[in-house]
Chain A
Amino acid sequence: MNLKFFSIDLKNKKRLIPQVLTLLSIVLAISYFAFNAQVNMNNRGIAFGFGFLTQEASFDIGFSLIDYDGSHSYARAFLVGLLNTLLVSVIGIFFATLIGVTVGIGRLSSNFLVAKFSEVYVEVFRNIPLLLQLFFWYFAALRALPLPEQAINFYDISYLTVKGWYVPKFIWTNFSIFIYSILAAIVAITFVSKHAKKQREEFGKHIPSFYIGIVLLFTFPALSFFIGGVTLDFEIPVLKQMSTTIFNFRGGVSIIPELMALAMALSMYTATFIAENVRAGILGIGKGQKEAAASIGLTNTQILKLVVLPQALRIIIPPTTNQYLNLTKNSSLAAAIAYPDIVLVFAGTALMQTGRAIEIVSITMGTYLLISLSISSFMNWYNQSVAIKEK
């Protein structure tokens, strides 16, 4: 027998033992839990498996972006929940960015009142738990809205009531042509801006690519209406009397109060963090950069566009991505106010009905994990592409 195989030198032993111990304890813990789970499930007469996903769900969901009723499968219910989660996250991210950037710039304003106002906003909304803000909007603020018969009227096309916000429904024909026209506009704008950059860098010629871009963005979709046969109609919500005392709106799209409360709470809470990121980003650009840019004769707009923003964005984007991820994860608080997101629909109702705790909780967690990892890896890639290339 070759004894050399056993004579590991001291340094290697020092490296090997902790690793083996770690792996061993992980394997032991997992197998212990798996064994217990096996025993428990055998006792209760359930077998591990994902077959239940194709069974009929037989429960209704109050708000859905795709066709769904009780006769659809659990997998379909999962999809409804996932889409609702993504919907509220996208709305939340949009408004959080809008409010956050405004407030972040506002905090740096030379206007004393605006700066103070922004600071108070950040300090108030950042230091109150999101769940409480959500409860406040849902149980206190939105419950104070009027009944349908006294709805708050926005120019006779949109109504805000305690049962939700009724907005006109868009009825498209040839919707895909409209989308193609927007895509074509985007391609054209990219082309123009590339061309403009080349002209500027090689010949010093200035092409107003921004204005051309705006014109293109409107002409292409407009052309699709005139030539492509795209039409757009609105279905405006109308107040109907259901019985002697009950009124409600028919037609249009109803944005349920749960969605409104959740989107408001998420965006106002996350906006405070984005505002701080924006502020840190702009403060992080040294004064010398601006002075240097001014000394080579750039105008104020050019300084902002060509010197400050590209550098500030490099500081702002990584933490802001983190906030977007947090917002998406925080949208799971929907379960607290019964907005049918993935946690409520799947980890709530479906779990109660099927009793398959392990499968359902791991699918739910896996979905969030997948969303998080894919956004963060995309952002890592983006970060690397905008990082300063050191020579």
Chain B
Amino acid sequence: MIFNILKPNKKNIQTYLAIGVSLLIIGFIDIFSNTFLNFNITGFFPNIISYLSPLILGAFGLYFIRIEYSGNKTLNTINRNLNSSNFNAILSLIVIFILIKYVPSILNWVFFDANFLGSTKEDCTGDGACWVFVRVWFNRFMYGMYPDAEQWRINYSFLVLLGSIGSIFILPHRFKKYIILFLLFIFPIIALNLISGGVFGLKWIETGAWGGLSLTFIVSAFALIFCFPIGVFLALGRRSDLPAIKYSSIGFIELWRGVPLITVLFMSAVMFPMFLPDGTYMDKLMRVIIAITLFEAAYMAEVVRGGLQALPRGQYDAAKSLGMGYWRMHFLIIMPQALKLVIPGIANTFLALVKDTPLIFVVGLLELAGMIGLAKTNPKWLGMATEGYVFAAFVFWIICFSMSRYSQNLEKKLSTER
């Protein structure tokens, strides 16, 4: 059989290496000249063969250099990781060719052909992205319609938040409790008063003017703080042996989990005012935060319930045998263990919450994605949708990716398994 004769082996490794590498090089020259020089060196073949020629050449090249136990460390590593079979060789080639074809043009668009300096759309002369758009609108993207002169209030709130979160890690262990209590109970009130104003001579700024990335943070921070305890209580309720509490918890959880957030926001916007006494008005942002909180609390409840179910019965029995009551048992023995078990789930719920905040555009609140939607329809800046959404995607990606990495670290650190 021809393949047996052509089967590369260690005896004539030099010949096979030479043939294989040169075939590979021809394949790469082909794809390079195709991509960057617009010249098809295999153009004399029929169309379909010329299109696939780099792949065919490369596959044969890789076939010839697939020599087991060749004695060459580099070659062995390549063969093991990229070239263990014909199928894997073709997959590797496809991935490499996709990278060669698309990564340079993406890089060009993002960096090399892009315009960074200037103040109007006319300053964008290159073929690439017009980051001038993001630069000019940056303030709006971060703060929405919040007056420029008052933006220090948002900045200070976030500095305090970051500072106190940072001090949790730096200060000794015994202060941790007080800082967390401060963050949970005192900080929200301070931040709310500072940002909305109307006290201590600060100018009142209505919530309609809030927006941009800071609104994303505000909504997710408040929803985060409130959804967690509600979720814990719902989970306990669902596992309660009192039927009325059990079934009302189940009903509540399943109701929120069964509907999309967008309809919940619609409900908070158009249906909820009908349920309030005539003439009372509840702030739109407050309604939205309550809606998101309840929605995420239902998901949180299911995550916490997973942790509760995973705990062995012995823990409950041991706690009871020490004479603990329901609440002491749950908050001293059960919850700390159950919550530790479900850190990934909790982190996922928090991530989902952050990723859900852009939805508040349906009730007319403009956070980052909404502000970009507004900016891209500005007559002076038409056609900037791609830049705007790429920027927003990048910002959200950084936030979400770092959160998920942090939760993975936390999971490892708190793991008591050996």
Interface residues of A (CB under 8 A from B): 15, 18-20, 22-23, 26, 33, 36-37, 39-41, 43, 109-114, 117, 123-124, 126-133, 135-136, 139-141, 143-144, 329-333, 335-336, 343, 347, 351, 357-358, 361-362, 364-365, 368-369, 372-373
> Which A residues lie within 8 Å of B259 (CB)?
329, 365, 368-369, 372
> Which B residues lie within 8 Å of A143 (CB)?
385
Determine the residue in chain A with the shortest Cβ distance to B83: A111
Query: CA separation between A373 and B359, bound complex, in Å?
Result: 24
> Which B residues lie within 8 Å of A131 (CB)?
358-359, 361, 369
For the complex formed, measure the closest distance between the CB of B240 and the CB atoms of chain A, giving whole angstroms. 8
Chain B 371-415 near chain A by CB (<8 Å), digits 1 or 0: 011001000000001100110110011001100100000000000
Assuming the contacts A36-B278, A113-B95, A114-B91, asked whether A329 and B260 have C-beta atoms less than 8 A apart, the reply is yes
A136–B262 contact, CB under 8 A? no
B276–A36 contact, CB under 8 A? yes
Query: CA separation between A225 and B278, bound complex, in Å?
Result: 67
Indicate whether B45 reaches chain A with its CB closer than 8 angstroms.
no
Query: CA separation between A135 and B95, bound complex, in Å?
Result: 27
Q: List 12 A-B contacts (CB under 8 A).
A: A22-B244, A26-B248, A36-B278, A110-B88, A112-B81, A127-B401, A129-B357, A129-B358, A136-B386, A361-B263, A362-B271, A372-B257
Chain B 60-84 near chain A by CB (<8 Å), digits 1 or 0: 0000000000000000000011101
B260–A19 contact, CB under 8 A? no
* Chain B residues bordering chain A, tally (CB within 8 A): 57
> Which B residues lie within 8 Å of A369 (CB)?
254-255, 258-259
Shortest Cβ-Cβ A-B pairs, 10 listed: A19-B244, A127-B400, A140-B386, A372-B258, A329-B260, A112-B81, A369-B258, A139-B385, A33-B275, A332-B260
Query: CA separation between A257 and B192, bound complex, in Å?
Result: 42
- Choose from A22, A23, A139, A332 the contact partner of B263 (Cβ within 8 Å): A332
Indicate whether B18 reaches chain A with its CB closer than 8 angstroms.
no
Determine the residue in chain B with the shortest Cβ distance to A144: B386
> Which B residues lie within 8 Å of A23 (CB)?
244, 248
B263–A368 contact, CB under 8 A? yes
Determine the residue in chain B with the shortest Cβ distance to A39: B278
B82–A365 contact, CB under 8 A? no
For the complex formed, measure the closest distance between the CB of A349 and the CB atoms of chain B, giving whole angstroms. 13
Query: CA separation between A39 and B385, bound complex, in Å?
Result: 46
Assuming the contacts A112-B81, A140-B385, A358-B274, asked whether A128 and B397 have C-beta atoms less than 8 A apart, the reply is yes
- Choose from A36, A127, A336 the contact partner of B397 (Cβ within 8 Å): A127
Determine the residue in chain A with the shortest Cβ distance to B392: A132
B242–A351 contact, CB under 8 A? no
> Which B residues lie within 8 Å of A110 (CB)?
80-81, 84, 88
> Which A residues lie within 8 Å of B372 (CB)?
135
Assuming the contacts A23-B244, A114-B92, asked whether A128 and B393 have C-beta atoms less than 8 A apart, the reply is yes
B87-112 residues at the A interface, CB under 8 angstroms: 88, 91-92, 95-96
For the complex formed, measure the closest distance between the CB of B75 and the CB atoms of chain A, giving whole angstroms. 15
> Which A residues lie within 8 Å of B359 (CB)?
131, 333
> Which A residues lie within 8 Å of B376 (CB)?
139
Query: CA separation between A20 and B258, bound complex, in Å?
Result: 27
A139–B81 contact, CB under 8 A? no
Chain B 196-231 near chain A by CB (<8 Å), digits 1 or 0: 000000000000000000000000000000000000
- Choose from B355, B361, B404 the contact partner of A336 (Cβ within 8 Å): B361
> Which A residues lie within 8 Å of B361 (CB)?
131, 336
A132–B95 contact, CB under 8 A? no
> Which B residues lie within 8 Å of A358 (CB)?
271, 274
- List 11 additional A-B contacts (Cβ < 8 Å) besides A127-B400, A139-B385, A333-B359: A22-B245, A36-B274, A36-B276, A36-B277, A40-B278, A113-B96, A117-B95, A123-B401, A129-B396, A132-B369, A369-B258
A132–B396 contact, CB under 8 A? yes
B271–A22 contact, CB under 8 A? no
For the complex formed, measure the closest distance between the CB of B108 and the CB atoms of chain A, giving whole angstroms. 16
Query: CA separation between A28 and B228, bound complex, in Å?
Result: 25
Indicate whether B266 reaches chain A with its CB closer than 8 angstroms.
yes
Query: CA separation between A333 and B275, bound complex, in Å?
Result: 26
B81–A111 contact, CB under 8 A? yes
> Which B residues lie within 8 Å of A141 (CB)?
386
